[in-house]
Amino acid sequence: MKTFIVIGMLLLSAGCSSMGVEPWDRDVLAKEEMQLTTDALEAATDDHIYFSKEASSGGRGFGGGGCGCN
């Protein structure tokens, strides 16, 4: 498992160096709706709900914990 992760990361980093756009081609990526987290409050709400009702949490960032609901 660990070997796969290391190989995956190496392939990813090798591939990444040739990907991307020039700074003047960032008009679309700069749009608010293209940010990875568009609505921080809604994301926090969802993390908290699913933390309370399921056995998994986090992934996107730190877990939605900090309550006695689990």
Partner 1 sequence: MSKESNKNISATLATATCALLGGTIAQPVQAQEEPGWDFNTSLLYYGEDENRVQDLSVALLARRTFQDDRWMTLGLTVDGLTGASPNGGLHQNTAQTFTQPSGNNTFTAAAGTLPIDDTFRDTRVAVNANWQQPLGRLYNFSAGASASKEFDYLHLGVNAKISRDFNQKNTTVSAGLAFSSDTIDPEGGAPSPLTSMLNVGDLSNRLGEQDKDVVDIVLGVTQVISRNLIVQANYSFSDSSGYLNDPYKIVAVVDGVTGDVVPHALPPGISGPSHEYIYESRPDSRTKHSFYSQAKYFMGGKVLDASYRYMTDDWEIDSHTVDLRLRWPISDKSYLEPHLRFYTQTEAEFYQVGVVDGSPLPAYASNDYRLGGFDAITLGLKYGWETRNGNDMSVRLELYQQRGDIPADRLIGNQVGLVQYPDLDAVIAQFSYRFGG
Residues that bind partner 1 (CB under 8 A): 5, 9, 12-13, 16-17, 19-23, 25-29, 31, 33-36, 38-42, 44-45, 49-50, 53-63, 65-68, 70
Least distance between partner 1 and beta carbon 61 (Å): 6
Task: Give the nearer residue to partner 1 in terms of CB position, either 3 or 33.
Answer: 33
Cβ-Cβ contacts under 8 Å for 41 (sequence gap 6 or more) = none
DSSP assignment, residue 30?
Answer: T
Please give the structure tokens belonging to residue 62.
Answer: 């730190």
Instruction: Provide, rounded to whole angstroms, the least separation between the CB of residue 7 and partner 1.
Output: 14
Classify residue 57 as exposed, middle or buried by CB count within 10 Å of its CB (0-12, 13-18, 19+).
middle
